Amino acid sequence: GVSLTHSLFLDLWARGGITSLILLIGIWILIFGAIIRFTLSRDSEVVTFGYVLGGFATGWLLDNLISGEQFFSDAPMILFWGVLGLVTALSKLSISEGGKKKVLQVLTSSDIGGAPQVVSDLLENSKSSEFEFVVVAPRGPFIKRFKSLGCKVYTLPLNRVGLVGFRGFYRILKEEKIDLINSHGKGAGLYARVVGSLFGIPVINTIHGIHYSKTNPISRNFYFLSERILSGFTRLVINVSKNQEKEGFKLRLFPKSKSRVVVNGIEASKFGGKRLDNQNFRRRLGVSESDFTVVMAARFDPPGVKHKGQLRFINLIPSLIKSIPNLKIVFAGGGEGEVEAKKLARDLGVWNSVLFLGERQDVPMILKNVDGFVLPSYHEGLPISVLEASASGLPVIGSNVVGIKDAVKEGETGLLVDFNNPRQAIEAFRKLSKSPDLRKRMGERGQEFVKKEFSMDKFVDKTLKVYEEALAS
């Protein structure tokens, strides 16, 4: 077959074996990868030469398939590398030109939650003249919010893997001439790093909590393996808390050289100020002046999902009420699991001690009129709700897990407990219920802690510096 076609591919296979053939194929993949990036350049001259180079390389490839004798001849080599050098020079020149760098924010979800809120905060508070933002996410409540901030927004089903998502993502990168991608969430991270690598666009992957199954080893190991592979296509990784970064290192999800910690930030002034004692508002909520009222502001976990931990907390409420008869628990938030949570509260006979408010737009007002905040999560990245509660002057009772223990200083701004240990959780609630002075002291320290460590300005500045680093490297 080699003697009949004189194919370079067959010739190398026959003489050098499969290793030589794989090496040759790899070279051609790199060549055409470079050509694709040229044709997607913002510079029209680079695009023009990219197409010229593409035509020449295609002819060269066909020649290799038919006859291997011309691969190392002088004329094609000189012409090829000459054009390649010219295009590379033009590409570098276009990159060094002024103008804003276009950053694509890629989200797995636009429902109410941490990642969409973080992206919204960044877009709203970024005053940089260096960056222009484009957003792509599945349909959800935050899409309207992103548009109101003046960003160009695309909707794609990035919460599931499919041809529609890949084709749409490819089209967006081609049309928008993106300089940098920042992905948020597993689905978004997959699309961004796979398609982004084809375009040669640097990708920053922000991890908002390392979520994996503790009971399903196949699912867990698949997630670990895929994340380790995808880290090779990631320029930098943003961890939203120091303890999350440590967890990632321990699981070997990304190398230390690529990790940067940028903690979430909030506008503390929106939640700060003096605590309120608005009895009319409390009565409208359904609690009295004498009730020890604790709020949990979070979306309910979908059935079968263990994240925020509402169900295991509701299972504790009968024991809590026995110890603290005037306890009232307020759930502010919606979600698929709300129906199941309500049924559990009825079945346990604690319905009169639990309030389900659904989605609320007045969470800051609620936080100013209750006595404490609880978050019994199984895992977190860095919960914004805890920062908002502390900024409102509330003591926090939270799970002793990654993310929450970054946002709560044990014994100073709140109490960290194991919610699988009923006795420990009950003691924490009893301790706060008996001491208004302790609640006030923890609340004041929490306000100071948030202002110092979790300001919006600090979050935005650090994020933009990571963008600059990714583009420069």
- 121: number of Cβ within 10 Å: 19
pLDDT reported for residue 100: 87
pLDDT at 136 over 70: yes
The stretch 422-433 carries a mean pLDDT of: 96
Torsional sign, CA 368, 369, 372, 375 = negative
CA Rg, the chain, in Å?
Answer: 28
Confidence of residue 274 (pLDDT cuts 50, 70, 90): low
Confidence of residue 259 (pLDDT cuts 50, 70, 90): very high
pLDDT reported for residue 72: 46
Walk me through the domains of the chain, giving residue ranges and CATH numbers: 2-96 (no CATH), 101-265+457-472 (3.40.50.2000), 268-454 (3.40.50.2000)
DSSP 185: S
Confidence of residue 1 (pLDDT cuts 50, 70, 90): very low
The stretch 265-281 carries a mean pLDDT of: 78
Tokens of 227: 């994340």
Distance CA 59, CA 33 (A): 16
Higher pLDDT, 72 or 453: 453
Confidence of residue 285 (pLDDT cuts 50, 70, 90): confident
pLDDT reported for residue 29: 84
Pairing mode, strands 152-155 and 131-137: parallel
pLDDT reported for residue 27: 83
The stretch 450-473 carries a mean pLDDT of: 95
pLDDT reported for residue 81: 52
Between CA 40 and CA 46, with CA 44 as vertex, the angle to 5 degrees is 65
The stretch 384-402 carries a mean pLDDT of: 97
pLDDT at 74 over 50: no
Q: Over the stretch 198-224, which tens digit does the pLDDT of each residue have?
A: 889 999 999 999 988 877 899 999 999
pLDDT reported for residue 64: 65
Of the listed ranges 3-17, 65-79, 426-440, the one predicted with least confidence: 65-79
Share of the chain above pLDDT 90, in %: 67
pLDDT reported for residue 87: 59
Distance CA 464, CA 467 (A): 5
pLDDT reported for residue 378: 94
Of the listed ranges 21-25, 69-73, 114-118, 262-266, the one predicted with least confidence: 69-73
Share of the chain above pLDDT 70, in %: 85
pLDDT reported for residue 437: 97
pLDDT at 90 over 70: no
Buried b (16+ CB within 10 A) or exposed e, 388-412: bbbbbbbbbbbbebbbbbbbbbeee
101 DSSP β-pair partners = 131
Higher pLDDT, 59 or 165: 165
Confidence of residue 95 (pLDDT cuts 50, 70, 90): very low
Confidence of residue 80 (pLDDT cuts 50, 70, 90): low
Distance CA 335, CA 188 (A): 21
What is the chain's mean pLDDT, rounded?
A: 88
- 63: number of Cβ within 10 Å: 16
pLDDT reported for residue 417: 97
